[in-house]
Amino acid sequence: MLLAAAGCQGPAPSPGQLGPAIATVSEQFLLDEPGDDWVFRTPELWRIAREGDRRFLQMAVPPERPMPPGVRRPQEYAVYAPYEFRGFSLSIRVRVDRDPSVVRRDAVILFGWQDDTHFYYAHLSGATDEWHNALIRVDGQKRVSLIPPGKRPPPTITDAGWHKVDVLRNAGTGMIEVYVDAYDEAALPVFRVVDRTYEWGRIGVGSFDDHASFAQIRLEGQARPVGRPQLSTRPSP
């Protein structure tokens, strides 16, 4: 499990505990291959990569079309398997690896993940519209942009560099905040919404149809152990 793996630390909830507990997860990806704590829709697209002293989880190959059947949603992602979270704070370094000349390239952070068609995702992109660079809720047969037209932010990731992304979830109030490159208390969130649809859920990383990298994950929040998730797989050609 991730909390016991090299580069990870912190107390973990025990299956024998009464109710959820606070868990702290710190993932530096020190192993040569993705561990069992990560479940992938298409495992062969993912690897552990290294640049200098930084090791990271990388979707090294963009997924092939067509998009998954049903509601339009991120088609490739990795889900953290051991626990689902309620209120939490997540800090992660993100890099979009497709050439910046492709304006609508993206990376996504998933949370509140129930199954393949029920979750939230923060879409980080070099373009801004209803679905790009937005906070989205996938509701089975439809998806909903939680950012009204008058509050859409400027593009968040327009280059090929690493960016610090923070996601804060207050399950009591329903508040969701997403920050990009926030290094002090004066920083304003890129997204701030209130939504209580999914109280508990898993956390994941991925992309719609690009490739991206994820490093230095730190996650703290109210957690409870659950069984391994069942991710839909890509249909056979």
Tens-place pLDDT, residues 76-87: 999 999 999 999
pLDDT at 16: 45
Task: Give the H or E element holding residue 213.
Answer: strand 212-225
Q: How confident is the model at residue 234 (pLDDT cuts 50, 70, 90)?
A: low
The residue behind tokens 């980080």 is 124
How far is the CA of 160 from the CAs of 15, 39, 151, 181, in angstroms?
A: 41, 26, 26, 14
Average pLDDT in the 5-26 region?
56
Look at residues 149, 64, 58 and name the one whose alpha carbon lies nearest to residue 97. 58
- Separation CA 77–CA 72 (nearest Å): 14
pLDDT tens digit string along 91-135?
A: 999 999 999 998 899 999 999 999 999 999 999 999 999 999 999
Q: What rounded mean pLDDT belongs to the chain?
A: 88
pLDDT value for 212: 95
The residue among 35, 38, 9 whose CA lies nearest residue 24 is 9
pLDDT of residue 209: 84
Q: How far apart are CA 168 and CA 153, in angstroms?
A: 18
* pLDDT for 237: 38
Which residues make beta-bridge pairs with 40? 78
Host H or E run for residue 66: none
**13 has a pLDDT exceeding 60:** no
Q: Which of 74, 103, 94, 83 is nearest to 24 (CA)?
A: 83
Residue 6 has pLDDT above 70, yes or no: no
pLDDT value at residue 84: 95
CA 17, chain centre distance (Å): 27
Of residues 37 and 209, the one with the higher pLDDT is: 37
Residue 150: band (very low, low, confident or very high) from pLDDT cuts 50, 70, 90: confident
Contacting residues for 131 by C-beta, under 8 A, at least 6 apart? 72, 123, 143, 145
Looking at residue 187, its pLDDT comes to: 93
Contact 190, 176 (CB under 8 A): no
* Phi and psi based region of residue 19 (left: phi greater than 0; alpha: psi -120 to 50; beta: remaining): left
Helix (H), strand (E) at residue 148: none
Residue 161 DSSP one-character state? S
Over residues 21-72, the pLDDT tens digits come to 999 999 999 988 888 899 999 999 999 999 999 999 999 888 877 777 889 9
Among candidate residues 117, 124, 62, the one with its CA nearest the CA of residue 94: 124
Counting every residue written for the chain, the total comes to 237
Is the pLDDT assigned to residue 214 strictly greater than 90? Answer: yes
**At residue 172, does pLDDT exceed 80?**
yes
